[in-house]
A and B are shown apart, each in its own frame.
Chain A
Amino acid sequence: MKKFTIAIALFAFIFLTSCKVQKEGIVIMTDHSYKATLFATNKIGIGSPDGLLWHKGKLYFADEGGVALESWNRNEGLKKLADANVGFLSPEDLVIDAQDNIFFTDDDAGGLWEYTADGKLREVATKDKGLISTEGIALARDGSLLVGDGEQHEVFRVTRDGDVTEFLGKEAGITKPESMVFDEQGNLYIADNEDNVLYLLDTNRKLHRIIDRNDSFSPETIYYSKGSLYITDSRSGKLYVYTPGEEMKTIAAFGGQLKNVQGVTVDDQGNVFVSVQSDLKHKVGNIIEISKEETQVAKK
């Protein structure tokens, strides 16, 4: 009887404390002029991507869950460019130069990695040079790369030869430069998802805190396109658009298994693509396309 009572109590304890949050996935369009489409799932071969980038008709993935660098287009499907065998552990963010060389960061292995246009992989700068946990990456006009480091709390400039110099030191106060992007004037946007601040470093090297809302904003990835900055927020599961001089607007909110939004990119037609890490450990990821609804006039 005693054992039975203990068993019942244990069962009740586990049952009452086991109510999990919903496994459903939803997207709420706060801007009704947009629509959402599930663009890609694990079925195309991706793992759980973080960084995303459209470049010359191809979508490139820094696949954190799948530990690979991949590209995809409609004709060729998914192509694995490089994988874990070469030493990187957790591809984070990526940029591509005009010659189609791909540069990516790794927040676990550190360093700056390059996959050249002719298909060779090399580590441009290693952990030994101070790039311990590399996060955001931006391509400067002079061809060098700016790399944010979450452990060092600094932004470094890395030349193609692998020379590393300090670009923004600790005194700048950026705790985790998670994502970075230049606008067409050469201003640098920096997303800090630990202090939950969006910075702007202007061309006079003056740093501005342009969005600073600790309680409800945590910028994960930023992407600049045609005068607007697209921002994902993995903490609250949102996609924002910020246009200088205007209020930041929420385009969509993501919930359930689609909440963990990571990378963001925009294609030539202005469609926004967001990577969602539904379950990084089990390599479950999705790519969601957020595009403008066709108006009645456009349909006609």
Chain B
Amino acid sequence: MATSALIPLILASLTGGLSDLNDKLLLLLNSAAGRSWLFDSIVAFFLDNDLAKAGVIGCCFLAAWYGGKSTNSTNARRKVLIATLIAAVCVITTTKVLSKTIFLPRPEIQSQKIYRLEGEQLVEMKRMPVRFMLDEESQKNYRALLSGDVETNDLGSFPSDHAGFFFAIALGIWLASRRLGWLALSWTVVVIMGGKMISAQHTPLDIAAGATVAIVELSLVQFVLRKRFSGLLEKLASLTLRYSALSSAIVFLVAFEVSSTMIHIRAFLGLLAAMRRHVLLGMG
């Protein structure tokens, strides 16, 4: 009886502790922002520029794809990388669906006075005293925020889809090639995720959750493909060797999309969604 009463208390205490730790870590990292225009501009450049942000990951992917020392080793790498791409699609779908289901505005949005509809009342949310970066784009966004211009995407920051996607790709590269994998992982953690936290776009918890989804789904996809669909995977890898020109073109497209954070694929999905609304559901 006493144990059953204790469990919720322990859980509540753990959740509270984790939330406090999350806030403290975020504020510590974010304390670097808003002090130097140069530093903030560099951070913003790596956040906004796809080539600077994700180009390195795309290059690592290509290098791992072509970098086998023998045919067997190239074949083995390609099997891992094909499974990684499938896992990355699953990860981005999962994180997107979760972030649209779980309402948690970005920390920068939470710096404002926000009321959230909970049942029959508007409840004021806890405010995050975050600092804003001094570069031009961040200041423009800050002014828009002060005028109440908030994107729907900014209201669901948990888990981080950037973290999920890039962790999945970087871990896949690490499974194919340790040296390239360390580079991709370091870039993901320091440049991409670090920038997201310094600019208060994501908390450490958002990123940890995104990374967890990536680890779990990548492991699952790698396991299932190797155990259940090893023949198919083997066939696909050998086809890439046989039709090397065609596979190179496809891999270029994949690396291009990885480097541009799949923005073009998302636009294509947006078109499909519009088609579904207008054609299938008959909405004007």
The residues of A with any CB-CB pair to B shorter than 8 Å are 13-22, 24-30, 32, 35-38, 41, 43, 216, 236-238, 250, 252-253, 255-258, 288
Report the minimal beta-carbon distance from A68 to chain B, rounded to whole angstroms: 22
11 contacts between A and B (CB under 8 A): A20-B100, A25-B117, A26-B115, A29-B114, A29-B115, A32-B113, A216-B149, A238-B148, A253-B147, A255-B150, A255-B152
> Is the C-beta of B112 less than 8 angstroms from some C-beta in chain A?
yes
Given contacts A43-B120, A250-B148, 15 further A-B contacts (CB under 8 A): A14-B276, A17-B272, A18-B273, A19-B97, A20-B100, A22-B103, A26-B114, A28-B112, A28-B148, A29-B114, A37-B121, A38-B120, A216-B149, A237-B148, A252-B148
Assembly CA distance A285 to B105 (angstroms) = 24
> Is the C-beta of B96 less than 8 angstroms from some C-beta in chain A?
yes
Report the minimal beta-carbon distance from A133 to chain B, rounded to whole angstroms: 19
> Is the C-beta of B122 less than 8 angstroms from some C-beta in chain A?
yes
Report the minimal beta-carbon distance from A227 to chain B, rounded to whole angstroms: 22
Residues of B within 8 A of A27 (CB): 114-115, 122
Report the minimal beta-carbon distance from B281 to chain A, rounded to whole angstroms: 11
Residues of B within 8 A of A35 (CB): 115, 124
Main SS of the interface on chain B? mixed
Task: Specify the chain A residue showing the minimal Cβ separation from B113.
Answer: A29
A17 contacts B273, C-beta separation under 8 Å: yes
> Is the C-beta of B175 less than 8 angstroms from some C-beta in chain A?
no
B272 contacts A13, C-beta separation under 8 Å: yes
A16 contacts B117, C-beta separation under 8 Å: no
Residues of A within 8 A of B273 (CB): 17-19
Assembly CA distance A24 to B122 (angstroms) = 11
Assembly CA distance A236 to B148 (angstroms) = 9
Report if A22-B152 is in contact (Cβ < 8 Å); known contacts: A16-B93, A41-B120: yes
Assembly CA distance A38 to B114 (angstroms) = 13
> Is the C-beta of B128 less than 8 angstroms from some C-beta in chain A?
no
> Is the C-beta of B146 less than 8 angstroms from some C-beta in chain A?
yes
Q: Enumerate B99-144 residues with CB–CB distance to A below 8 Å.
A: 100, 103, 105, 109, 112-117, 120-122, 124
Residues of A within 8 A of B115 (CB): 26-29, 35-36
Instruction: Identify which of A35, A36, A252 gathers the most chain B CB atoms within 10 Å of its CB.
Output: A36
Residues of B within 8 A of A37 (CB): 121-122
The 7 closest A-B pairs by CB, nearest first: A253-B148, A25-B117, A17-B273, A29-B113, A24-B103, A27-B115, A36-B115
Q: Enumerate B142-164 residues with CB–CB distance to A below 8 Å.
A: 146-150, 152, 155-156
A17 contacts B276, C-beta separation under 8 Å: yes
Residues of A within 8 A of B124 (CB): 35
Assembly CA distance A43 to B100 (angstroms) = 28
Residues of A within 8 A of B117 (CB): 24-26, 38, 256-258
Residues of A within 8 A of B152 (CB): 21-22, 255
Assembly CA distance A216 to B97 (angstroms) = 29
A30 contacts B146, C-beta separation under 8 Å: yes
Residues of A within 8 A of B96 (CB): 19
Residues of B within 8 A of A21 (CB): 100, 152
Report the minimal beta-carbon distance from B206 to chain A, rounded to whole angstroms: 16
Report the minimal beta-carbon distance from B152 to chain A, rounded to whole angstroms: 5
Q: Enumerate B63-102 residues with CB–CB distance to A below 8 Å.
A: 93, 96-97, 100
Residues of A within 8 A of B122 (CB): 27, 36-38, 288
Report the minimal beta-carbon distance from A261 to chain B, rounded to whole angstroms: 12
Assembly CA distance A85 to B146 (angstroms) = 46
Residues of A within 8 A of B272 (CB): 13, 16-17
Assembly CA distance A43 to B150 (angstroms) = 30
Instruction: Identify which of B103, B109, B148, B155 gathers the most chain A CB atoms within 10 Å of its CB.
Output: B148
Residues of A within 8 A of B120 (CB): 38, 41, 43
Assembly CA distance A5 to B112 (angstroms) = 48
Residue in B116, B146, B147, B276 whose beta carbon sits within 8 Å of that of A26 in the complex = B116
Instruction: Identify which of A15, A26, A35, A216 gathers the most chain B CB atoms within 10 Å of its CB.
Output: A26
B116 contacts A24, C-beta separation under 8 Å: yes
A250 contacts B147, C-beta separation under 8 Å: yes
Assembly CA distance A80 to B120 (angstroms) = 23
